[in-house]
Each structure stands twice: as C-alpha cells, then as structure tokens.
C-alpha cells in the first residue's frame, strides 16, 4: 500500500489491494493445509449438502450480524460528520480512543471463548454453559471496571496530558463513551455464548434494531443537545442492547436473574465503589500530572483486585495457584 501511495495510484487500486491480499492469504493457508501431516484435500463428491445448507444459514446470519455491528460502532462518527460542526467531530475522534481501547481489551480476552462454548454445546454440557456465562461476566467486569473508573475520574487530566487543554470540552463526551465501552465489552460474553450454541438470530435482529435506534435517536439528540446528546444516547442504546442480550442468554441457559446478579455482578460492586472513592480522593490529593496519575491508578488497581480476590477467593489461606484457579475458573 505504501508503494502504491508513493507511486501516485488513486484510491481504487489501493482499495483493491485489500481483497487481493485476503485472497493471497487464503491461497497460502490452503497450500499449507495440503502439506500438513493430515492433508486437507476436499472432494466435491464428498460434500454433505444437507449440512452445508445449515452452515450457509449460520454464515449468512453471522455476516449480517457482524456488518450491522460494525455500522453501529461507526454511526456516531457518521452522524457527527453530517449534523455537527467540524470541531465537534474532532473532539469525538479524540474522546473515542480510550473507550474504544477498553472495548478491544474485552474482545481480545474473549477471543478464545467461542470454541470452548461450541465444544460444550456439542457435548450438551449445560453446566459448562452456565459456568461460562457466570464466570466470564464476573471476570470481564473485574477487568474493565477499575480501568473505566480510573479513566472516568481522571478524564480531564488524561485528555490534557494527552492532547492539551483545547479538547477539555470533550470530557463529558469521554465519560459518556466510557459507559458505552463497559457495556459493549460486557456484551461479548452473551454473544460468544449465542455464537457457540448456534443461536444468533436474536443477536442479528437486535443488531439491526440497535442500528436503527442509533440513527434515529442519535440524529434527534444531535439536533437538540449537540455532541453530548449524541454520546449519551449512543451509550444508552448500547446499554439497552447488552441488557436484552443478557436477558435472552440467561433464559436460554436457565439461570435466574437474581442468582446471576449475586454471583457474577455483585462481587465487583463493592471493590468498584471502594476504588472509585479512592480515585476521587487521590485526584484531589495528588498533583495533576503523569506521576500523580500513575500513583493513583496503581494503588487503585491493587485495591480493587485485593478486595475482589478476597470476596471471590475466600478469606481462608490457600496456595496462590489454587486462589488464581478459583478466581479464573470457579464459581460457588
């Protein structure tokens, strides 16, 4: 791509480079598969067309759901570019960075979950599906909440140190998008469950509803409240979508809502509240520079995970390997 840019080629040849590269990658993977210890040599006569129809349906729904989700993730930028002044678009571009990284953290953490869920579904292991939904929710919250709390309390300092005082008007937008990021990251837990068991019609339909709501409500919010209205409405729609996905998934695996709240959500609440209180106190006690930010966040993270480990791992003395395994893979 860099060579084409320097050679003076236009946008179309550069855009064509992406599918061409993907095709070359596919050819390379097929060539490697043919040279494996168990060679991959598909024969058209051996294809089970009945099963292929089922795979086609799943693949089509997956494509639709992924496409709608990508559009939903970009709709706030589209609306800001069409309906708001250019400075607001620049503020949104800056304010999205850290919340987007927080969402990516959840996505990368759960990237290995799909084959595990699919394997449990193939074995009809209902207890394993229940444990996944409970433990993954608890641990993703434990991963995201302390980071989101630090970003929320220290938002003004972070933006000033990163970009400068010119973007401090984006602090409310930054904070609103943090709520979006937490719920968007949490959404990946029920999505992985539904993908693993092959139940994606609901999530695909919900993605379309969320996209339509984001366009309609977002346009109205832009017209009446500007950029902050767009950010708040965007976060609220994502929060509603995550709650609906969890409601559907909890019903599918037959977990009572109160049991899920008590075992998966509640262990994070007291550590999160204590950590937020610490960040609030320290943000008024230490210097608003990189050193103060580092000290506050480091102590806050240690505080959160100490309290979380005490609540989940129990108060009895255990070997550290046993405690880590309990934190990551077990639930009462």
Same domain, 164 and 216: yes
Averaged pLDDT score across all residues of the chain: 85
Least confident of 91-95, 162-166, 172-176: 162-166
Same domain, 81 and 162: yes
Same domain, 137 and 254: yes
Q: Using 50, 70 and 90 to split pLDDT, how confident is the model at 150?
A: very high
* 284 within a domain of the structure (yes/no): no
Same domain, 129 and 187: yes
SS (H, E, C) the chain: CHHHHHHCCCHHHHHHHHHHHHHHHHHHHHHHHHCCCCCCCCCHHHCCHHHHHHHHHHHHHHHHHHHHHHHHHHHHHHHHHHHCCHHHHHHHHHHCHHHHHHHHHHHHHCCCHHHHHHHHHHCCCHHHHHHHHHHHHHHHHHHHHHHHHHHHHCHHHHHHHHCCHHHHHHHHHHHHHHHHHHHHHHHHHHHHHHHHHCCCHHHHHHHHHHHHHHHHHHHHHHHHHHHHHHHHHHHHHHHHHHHHHHHHHHHHHCCCHHHHHHHHHHHHHHHHHHHHHHHHHHHHHCCCCHHHHHHHHHHHHHHHHHHHHHHHHCCCCCCHHHHHHHHHHCCC
Tokens at 258, concatenated? 């109160």
Give the whole-angstrom CA distance, residue 160 versus residue 174: 12
Q: Using 50, 70 and 90 to split pLDDT, how confident is the model at 321?
A: low
Of 212, 231, 266, the one marking the end of a domain is 266
Least confident of 31-45, 142-156, 247-261: 31-45
Res. 88: pLDDT tops 90: no
Res. 56: pLDDT tops 80: no
* 241 within a domain of the structure (yes/no): yes
* 218 within a domain of the structure (yes/no): yes
**How many other CB atoms are found less than 10 A from the CB of residue 272?**
20
Name which of 219, 210, 215, 195 is nearest 240 in CA terms.
210
**pLDDT of res. 211:** 93
> What number is the average pLDDT over the span 74-101?
88
Same domain, 115 and 167: yes
* 302 within a domain of the structure (yes/no): no
Of 206, 236, 266, the one marking the end of a domain is 266
Same domain, 4 and 127: no
* 307 within a domain of the structure (yes/no): no
Same domain, 84 and 18: no
Same domain, 188 and 122: yes
Number of domains in the chain: 2
Same domain, 165 and 224: yes
* 329 within a domain of the structure (yes/no): no
Same domain, 118 and 37: no
* 311 within a domain of the structure (yes/no): no
Of 231, 250, 266, the one marking the end of a domain is 266
The per-residue pLDDT for range 98-120, each reduced to its tens digit, is 888 888 888 888 878 878 888 88
Give the whole-angstrom CA distance, residue 192 versus residue 14: 34
Same domain, 20 and 66: no
Write the burial class of residue 44 (CB in 10 Å: 0-12 exposed, 13-18 middle, 19+ buried): exposed
Same domain, 108 and 233: yes
Tokens at 29, concatenated? 């993977």
Res. 315: pLDDT tops 80: no
Identify the domain containing residue 13 by its residue range: 1-42
* 293 within a domain of the structure (yes/no): no
**Residue % of the chain over a pLDDT of 70:** 86
Res. 41: pLDDT tops 80: no
**pLDDT of res. 176:** 94
**pLDDT of res. 319:** 64
Buried-exposed string 150-172: b where 16+ CB fall within 10 A, e elsewhere: bbbbbbbbbbbeebeeebeebbe
Q: Using 50, 70 and 90 to split pLDDT, how confident is the model at 241?
A: very high
């Amino acid at each position: 791509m860099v060579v084409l840019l320097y050679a003076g080629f236009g946008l179309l040849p550069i855009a064509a480079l992406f599918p061409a590269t993907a095709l070359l990658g596919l050819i390379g993977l097929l060539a490697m598969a043919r040279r494996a210890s168990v060679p991959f040599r598909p024969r058209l006569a051996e294809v089970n067309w009945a099963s292929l129809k089922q795979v086609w349906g799943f693949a089509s729904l997956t494509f639709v759901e992924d496409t709608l989700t990508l559009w939903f993730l970009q709709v706030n930028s589209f609306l800001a570019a069409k309906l708001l002044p250019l400075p607001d678009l620049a503020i949104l571009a800056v304010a999205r960075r850290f919340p987007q990284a927080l969402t990516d953290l959840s996505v990368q953490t759960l990237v290995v979950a799909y084959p595990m869920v699919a394997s449990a579904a193939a074995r009809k292991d209902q207890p394993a599906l229940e444990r996944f939904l409970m433990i993954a929710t608890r641990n993703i919250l434990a991963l995201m909440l302390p980071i989101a709390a630090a970003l929320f309390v220290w938002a003004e300092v972070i933006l000033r140190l990163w970009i400068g005082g010119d973007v401090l008007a984006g602090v409310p937008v930054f904070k609103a998008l943090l709520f979006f990021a937490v719920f968007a990251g949490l959404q990946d837990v029920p999505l992985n469950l539904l993908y693993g068991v092959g139940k994606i019609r609901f999530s695909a339909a919900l993605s379309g509803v969320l996209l339509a709501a984001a366009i309609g409500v977002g346009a109205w919010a832009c017209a009446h409240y500007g950029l902050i209205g767009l950010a708040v409405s965007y976060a609220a729609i994502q929060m509603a979508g995550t709650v609906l996905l969890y409601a559907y998934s909890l019903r599918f695996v037959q977990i009572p809502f109160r049991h899920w709240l008590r075992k998966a959500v509640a262990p994070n609440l007291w550590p999160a509240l204590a950590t937020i209180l610490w960040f609030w106190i320290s943000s008024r006690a230490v210097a608003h520079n990189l050193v103060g930010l580092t000290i506050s966040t480091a102590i806050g993270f240690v505080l959160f995970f100490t309290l979380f480990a005490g609540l989940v791992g129990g108060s009895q003395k255990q070997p550290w390997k046993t405690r880590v395994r309990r934190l990551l893979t077990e639930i009462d």
